Structure 1
Amino acid sequence: MANIKELSVEEKLRALYDLQLIDSRIDEIRNVRGELPLEVEDLEDEVAGLSTRLEKLKADLETIEEQIKEKKNAIDGHKESIKKYTEQQKNVRNNREFNSLTKEVEFQELEIQLAEKHIREMKASIEHKKEVISQTKEKLEGRQSHLKHKKAELEDIMSETEKEENFLLEKSAEFQEQIEERLLNAYNRIRTSVRNGLAVVSIERGASAGSFFTIPPQTQMEIASRKKIITDEHSGRILVDSALADEEKEKMQQLFSKI
């Protein structure tokens, strides 16, 4: 990074620890939200999917109802044909013509039976689709209600924390500007590789915070002298002495209280 003021090792350690305290506070805020943003997103997708399915089911229903109308119209046409052929049978000149017309009547009657069978099947399909539509509507209403509740919950949390998070993000960016690129890269690399996001930790009871491995007294003295940046050989975290940590915690607490 260009135009960074040359800091002493102690100033670098303080800047790194301050950045860690700010970023940890941002992590806490985001942890409060937890999985809520993802839950809301998943529910929105589910509601959209159910709405699309409902529209398709309704369109299918309209199509089937239209097909039933067509079949009924066809039945009316077949009945008209039967009436016509029956009338013609009264004026036939021979048995061949009569038999031919009888076959036409039988064919029309079969067509009516087939159309009526299709209508019964389509009516059964309509009943099934109506049941599915009812179930889908009920599920959609339930998901919409759940989504509304989760959105309200997320909005409440966002309204409570958004101002603080934005302030802290600005401060995090400011502190990052103070830290040389090599150190900042190391900080970010460590932070993303550890579960709790702690890249800079203080010495507590002879060990690095959150660790059970004791740090040798000579190394503790070197850390307390603040003459060079030392990392924990087990976790890779950057180490600071407890006095420096307490001073920076107090300073950051005053910063956080201004929000």
Structure 2
Amino acid sequence: MANTKELSVEEKLRALYDLQLIDSRIDEIRNVRGELPLEVEDLEDEVAGLTTRLDKLKTDLESIEDQIKEKKNGIDDHKAAIKKYTEQQKNVRNNREFNSLTKEVEFQELEIELAEKHIKEMKATIEHKKEVIGQSSERLEAKKNHLQHKKSELDAIMSETEKEETFLTQKSAEYEAGIEPRLMAAYKRIRGSVRNGLAVVSIERGASAGSFFTIPPQTQMEIASRKKIITDEHSGRILVDSALADEEKEKMEQLFAKI
């Protein structure tokens, strides 16, 4: 099997700069999305949390309403007992039996009083919970609307950029495969360490793009000769001459126009 032809330094520089242009375009697309995916995720979590809380509040409300029903049924039972004991008092044989039944009636009346007190407290709790449910429902509805708005916003951006991003990501992988691993590792290391992701930059007005540090004329000549890969001593970025950069930009613009 024949060996793959060794790329010249100039070819390596062109390949690296092409890859940089593709990756920068991908960065731009992702920057347009910005924090939207995270915002959508956070809002989904908030909506889920509020829904769970609202469900619990409604369950609590049903539980209290059931307890009130039980208390009311209990009051009915106590009233029936009072009626029974009062009837029995009419047929007592002595004071001891009468007093015993009177105590039973008083006990039942106290139980009714206590149950009514509990019902009153539970009704106050229900009113408070209804107020909280109302506020929570409003907040949930607002969050749902906000989520829907952000999702629509994200979907619109995704539909506009998904095709381009997929195409560019494939091209990035293709170009990456054609660059030797050592250079590729350096490119990724530099790209990961600089704020704007620019690992390969051109010379502009005697300095590397985006930098104020002037590059010595001798170094500029070496860069223009394309005989070796030179990095900026200040930023660590790989440098290419402006003529090569312009040629590759034009080439990449033609590629991007096909999308």
Asked if the contact 1:5–1:178 (Cα under 8 Å) also holds between the matched residues in 2, the reply is: no
Give, in angstroms, the shift of residue 113 of structure 1. Answer: 0.7
- The residue type paired with residue 138 of structure 1 is E
Gaps of 5+ in 1: none
How far apart are the structure 2 equivalents of 1:178 and 1:24? 18
- The residue type paired with residue 42 of structure 1 is D
Gaps of 5+ in 2: none
- The residue type paired with residue 145 of structure 1 is N
How far apart are the structure 1 equivalents of 2:76 and 2:221? 103
Give, in angstroms, the shift of residue 111 of structure 1. Answer: 0.7
Q: Counterpart of 2:239 in 1: which secondary structure?
A: strand
- The residue type paired with residue 232 of structure 1 is D
Q: Structure 2 matches for 1:1-259, cutoff 5 A?
A: 5-259=5-259
Give the % identical residues.
Answer: 85
Cα pair distance change 1:164/1:59, threshold 3 Å: same
> Runs in 1 of length 4+ with deviation above 3 angstroms?
none
Q: Counterpart of 1:198 in 2: which secondary structure?
A: coil
- The residue type paired with residue 95 of structure 1 is N
Give, in angstroms, the shift of residue 5 of structure 1. Answer: 4.7
- The residue type paired with residue 144 of structure 2 is Q
- The residue type paired with residue 171 of structure 1 is K
Give, in angstroms, the shift of residue 6 of structure 1. Answer: 2.1
Asked if the contact 1:4–1:178 (Cα under 8 Å) also holds between the matched residues in 2, the reply is: no
- The residue type paired with residue 84 of structure 1 is K
How far apart are the structure 2 equivalents of 1:164 and 1:106? 85
Q: Counterpart of 2:6 in 1: which secondary structure?
A: coil
Normalised TM-score (structure 2): 0.97
How far apart are the structure 2 equivalents of 1:107 and 1:185? 88
Asked if the contact 1:224–1:240 (Cα under 8 Å) also holds between the matched residues in 2, the reply is: yes
Asked if the contact 1:4–1:177 (Cα under 8 Å) also holds between the matched residues in 2, the reply is: no
How far apart are the structure 1 equivalents of 2:13 and 2:168? 19
Normalised TM-score (structure 1): 0.97
How far apart are the structure 1 equivalents of 2:138 and 2:62? 20
